[in-house]
Amino acid sequence: METILSLQGLTHYFGGLRAVHDFNLELPQGALWGLIGPNGAGKTTIFNLITGVYKPTEGKIIFNGEDITGLKSHLIVEKGIARTFQNLRVFNGLTALDNIRIARQAKNNISLFDSFLYTRKFYEEEKQAKEEAMELLKIFNLQSRAYTLAKNLPYGELRRLEIARALATHPKLVLLDEPAAGMNPREVGNLMDLIHWIREQFKITIFLVEHQMRVVMGICERIKVLDFGETICDGSPEYVKCDPKVIEAYLGRVENA
């Protein structure tokens, strides 16, 4: 299968602290892979490196055969990488509909002139943007919330809204940063179905970071385990589950007296 995202020797330092060291990944098109590791292992840093929030100290990021290392975030989004955030980052003061419509910005070719004078083109674009956004809201069962301010939505709906917003950018690859954080077991079950379903429906590749083992073990085809910025294990869920190094990173070592 063709590789969609390739990370080659990705290394990142925060001052003297090495957050990520020599991270390699060959993510095939259409895959659903996971990244796990204890707190502070560098998982979110890797997401931030891929999406251009940080520039890597060393290493290369190749997306769809194109070097995107050090590109500005909005250009990376335009290339087709979207993400969600560990601690929700929806636009609280805006309606659910506007949250989605903003994510269409890059595809929008409305000039300032059109906006100032409300030309015919403006109305056509607005209509299309709204229809597209409403469709996404419907898919995520949020259509009744279209005109509700995001700050008034319950947590579970915000999580869905954020995923919908990521999909509104028409991505090829979606990075989900702890999508199940703060959900109850039933919501987690629904989320797992949803993630499977969007992958099929939108034909996208998904790479996710998650703490809840149930999610990772349940849906990921392959898992990378990170500890203190180093990759300590890489394989199928069954393999990772039994690797002594992984158990040690999570639970500590058994001392033999």
Residues forming contacts to other proteins in the complex (CB under 8 A) are 51, 53, 72-74, 77-78, 82-83, 85, 89-94, 98, 101-106, 108, 110, 112, 114-118, 120, 122-123, 125-126, 129, 146-147, 165-166, 168-169
**In the complex, least distance from residue 257 CB atom to other proteins, rounded to whole angstroms:** 50
CB nearer to other proteins: pick between 125 and 227: 125
CB nearer to other proteins: pick between 166 and 249: 166
134: nearest Cα among 84, 180, 183, 100: 100
**In the complex, least distance from residue 172 CB atom to other proteins, rounded to whole angstroms:** 13
In contact, 2 and 173? CB cutoff 8 Å: no
Taking each helix axis as running N to C, give the angle between helix 185-202 and helix 155-167, from 0 to 180 degrees, rounded to the nearest 10: 10
CB nearer to other proteins: pick between 56 and 249: 56
**In the complex, least distance from residue 57 CB atom to other proteins, rounded to whole angstroms:** 20
Work out the burial of residue 173: count CB atoms within 10 Å of its CB; fewer than 13 is exposed, 13-18 middle, 19 or more buried.
Answer: buried
**In the complex, least distance from residue 244 CB atom to other proteins, rounded to whole angstroms:** 37
Query: Which residues is 131 bridged to in the sheet?
Result: none
Calculate the alpha carbon distances from 161 to 11, 122, 150, 177 in Å.
Answer: 32, 26, 9, 14
CB nearer to other proteins: pick between 135 and 248: 135
Q: What are phi and psi of 86, to 5 degrees?
A: -60, -50
Contacts 24+ apart (CB under 8 A), 85-89: 85/162, 85/177, 86/44, 86/177, 86/178, 86/181, 86/209, 88/155, 88/158, 88/159, 88/162, 89/162
**In the complex, least distance from residue 118 CB atom to other proteins, rounded to whole angstroms:** 6
Q: How many residues does the chain have?
A: 257
Tokens in use for 246? 């992984």
CB nearer to other proteins: pick between 62 and 94: 94
Three-class secondary structure of residue 129 per DSSP: helix
**In the complex, least distance from residue 255 CB atom to other proteins, rounded to whole angstroms:** 44
CB nearer to other proteins: pick between 85 and 228: 85
